[in-house]
Each structure stands twice: as structure tokens, then as C-alpha cells.
Amino acid sequence: MSVEIPVGKKVQVKVPGSSANLGPGFDTLGLAVGIYDYVEVEVIDSGLEVEVTGEGAGEVPLDERHLVVRALREGLKAADVTVRGLRVSCNNSIPQSRGLGSSAAAAVAGVTAANGLAGFTLDNRKLIQLASTFEGHPDNAAASVLGHAVVSWTNVPVDGRTAPQYFASRINVHEDIRITALVPDFHASTEAVRRVLPTDVSHLDARFNVSRTAVMTVALRDDPSLLWEGTRDRLHQTYRAEVLPITAEWVNRLRNQGYPAFLSGAGPTIMVLSTEAIDDSLLEEAKGRGIRVHELKVAGPVEVTVQ
């Protein structure tokens, strides 16, 4: 029998954004970055109240369609608990649809808030499974759950009926690595950007990305001098350049000057992982063209506080 959570119980969630792929690790590598959404959930007598401030305010639905609410419902169901009503307040700093994991962060916020309300009965493995279901791949969600960098993978059952299973393992990021995100002032649809990818790739390109993904895991954990080589890619960024010309321009410019730059997720954000600061003149030029620049730290895992 389900347990009903008492009215008045409240949780607060601080969830980091994330960058996926990191160059070659398509749908596999992820990194938690220090830009956060804050979500507060309170059990109330009845109904649903949703408030959103910051990024996405006035653009996202304020009802059961809201992603935090949908994930929250799934988390409560998985924990086998019920509530009479919910008040959900979101204060967002993660830019929406920019390749910084805003949707994954919302899903993680919902399932971890539910877990906090239920008394933390769900482990990280279950949280990653629940949150990744909304994304269809675990790289962003796992990074927000576990913090630092992650290697993630998906097992698709051959029976065609059982749901995919999502997994991830954390990589502690070298302390010298710094993050710079250049965020253009336009949205990118993940589905639209995926449509330009070919259905088949050459064995040569696949082999190239396998090797660079392996290099990238070593660069992240042990040897940041390998970051430029580790962020090289032949599977997706070249194809996406045609629909993200501004992003492609800045990735190429930065890489040509020796900075390990890559497309963050589906874009349009340009991400640089390095041990040295980017030349100020480049950043000022980017700002002059309407590109926001964020100097970020590697983030830890999602945090949940129960009141």
C-alpha cells in the first residue's frame, strides 16, 4: 500500500546543468557544469501550483505538462508514495535549449525532489534510469545526478517490449580543468539538429571517435594536456555545422588557436575545457556579437535538502 506524504513536507533541490558529448563521446560522455536550477517542492492539501522564474519564465507550461512536474510524478510513483497536492517553484539559471542540459536538469530535479519527499528510498541508479527516460539517453541526466564527468551507456532489450536501461559511471575531473561556455542568443532544437546526422558513418570515422573518446576520458581524469586531441570528432559536429553556422565558426576559431572547443550537446553553446584562460580579446569579440560568456566550475552532484 502506498504511503501518503504529509501536507507541509518540503524539499529544495539544487541541480547543475551539463554538457554532453564533449566532442567525440556522442550520447556517451557528459560533464556537470556549475550553472544551476533551484526547485522547491511542497506538499499541499490539493491541486497543483507551478511557478517559474528566471530562464524559461513565460515560455514553459505551468501545469502537469511541466517537465519537473512530470518527472516528480514518476519519482513519486517509483517510490510508491502519494501526495494530496503539490506546490512547485522553479528558479532557473540554466539557459533553455542551448545545449547546457536544461531539460535533463528539470527531469533530475523532479525525480530527486520526489526521492527526498519519500525519504531517499531510490538510489542513484534508479534516479538515472527515471530521469534518462525523459531524454532517451543518459549523458546529461547522469552528469547532473552524479556530478563531475560521466561515461554513460544504454542497453536496448532485443525483445522490443522492455524499456531501455540506462547506466553511468562517474569520472572525477582533474582539478586544473576550467570551463568556458559561449552561449549564442538563439535556441536549438535537439530533434532538428539530430535530423542532419547521417544514418551511416564510415568505419574510419567510427574508429577515429572511439580512439578520441578513450583519449578524452584520460584527459578529463589524469592528463589535461590531452584535451585538444580528446575533443576531436568526426561523427556529428561537421554535419551540424550547416544548421549551426555561428557555433561552427567559433568552435573552429577557438580550436585553430589551440583551445579545446566543441559543440555542447546539440548546441548552440560552444564549450571550452582547458587549463588556461581564453584570450580576452576573443571573449570581448564574442560578447560584442551577442554571445554570453560564462566562466564555470566543474559541478558536484544534485543536492536535495528536506525541510
The verdict on whether residue 31 carries a ligand-binding annotation is: no
Domain total of the chain: 2
Same domain, 209 and 160: no
Q: Would you put residue 137 in left (φ > 0), alpha (ψ -120 to 50) or beta?
A: beta
Alpha helices, DSSP H only, in 258-297?
280-288
Same domain, 94 and 150: yes
Coil, strand, or helix at residue 109?
helix
Structural domain including 238 reads 178-297
Report the share of the chain in percent with pLDDT over 70: 98
Would you state the pLDDT for residue 189?
A: 65
The verdict on whether residue 266 carries a ligand-binding annotation is: no
Would you state the pLDDT for residue 7?
A: 97
Residues 190-201 as b/e (b if ≥16 CB within 10 A, e otherwise) read: beebeeeeeeee
Same domain, 62 and 211: no
Same domain, 187 and 122: no
Would you state the pLDDT for residue 230?
A: 98
Same domain, 152 and 21: yes
Q: Could you report the per-residue pLDDT of 225-244, keeping only the tens digit for each?
A: 999 999 999 999 988 888 89
The verdict on whether residue 97 carries a ligand-binding annotation is: yes
Would you state the pLDDT for residue 241?
A: 84
The verdict on whether residue 100 carries a ligand-binding annotation is: yes
Q: From the first residue on, what is the mean pLDDT of each consecutive set of 10 residues in the chain (307 residues)?
A: 93 98 96 98 98 95 97 98 98 94 97 98 98 95 98 89 93 98 82 80 95 98 98 92 90 97 94 96 96 97 96
Same domain, 77 and 122: yes
The verdict on whether residue 87 carries a ligand-binding annotation is: no
Q: Could you report the per-residue pLDDT of 28-53, keeping only the tens digit for each?
A: 999 999 999 999 999 999 999 999 99
Same domain, 153 and 201: no
Same domain, 161 and 15: yes
At 62, which CATH number?
3.30.230.10
The verdict on whether residue 240 carries a ligand-binding annotation is: no
Same domain, 23 and 75: yes
Same domain, 9 and 63: yes
- The answer to whether the CB of 274 falls within 8 A of the CB of 260 is yes
At 241, which CATH number?
3.30.70.890
Same domain, 134 and 199: no
Same domain, 211 and 94: no
The verdict on whether residue 102 carries a ligand-binding annotation is: yes
